[in-house]
Amino acid sequence: MGSCSVFSPPNEPLKYSTSCGRGTDSSSSSTKRYHLRINTAAERDATDWWCDLSTSATRSNTFRLQISSGPDSITFSPPSPGPVAEGESLTVMCAASCNPPCSYSWTLRNQPISSTSQLTLASINRSQTESVYTCNATNSFLSKSETEQFTLTVNLFHFQSNLITSAMAAKGNISTVEKGWEMGGSSPCNNFE
Domain count, the chain: 3
Same domain for 47 and 23? yes
- Same-domain check for residues 86 and 130: yes
User: Residues 154, 87: contact at Cβ < 8 Å?
Assistant: no
| Most confident among 27-36, 117-126, 151-160 (mean pLDDT) | 117-126
Using alpha carbons only, what angle is made at residue 11 by residues 7 and 13, rounded to the nearest 5 degrees?
85
User: Does 11 reside within a domain?
Assistant: no
Residue 1: band (very low, low, confident or very high) from pLDDT cuts 50, 70, 90: very low
**Is 92 a domain residue?**
yes
Q: Cis peptide leading into 188, omega within 30 of 0?
A: no
Domain range for 167: 161-192
Indicate whether 75 belongs to any domain. yes
pTM over 0.75: no
Residues 92 and 143 in one domain: yes
| CATH number where 99 lies | 2.60.40.10
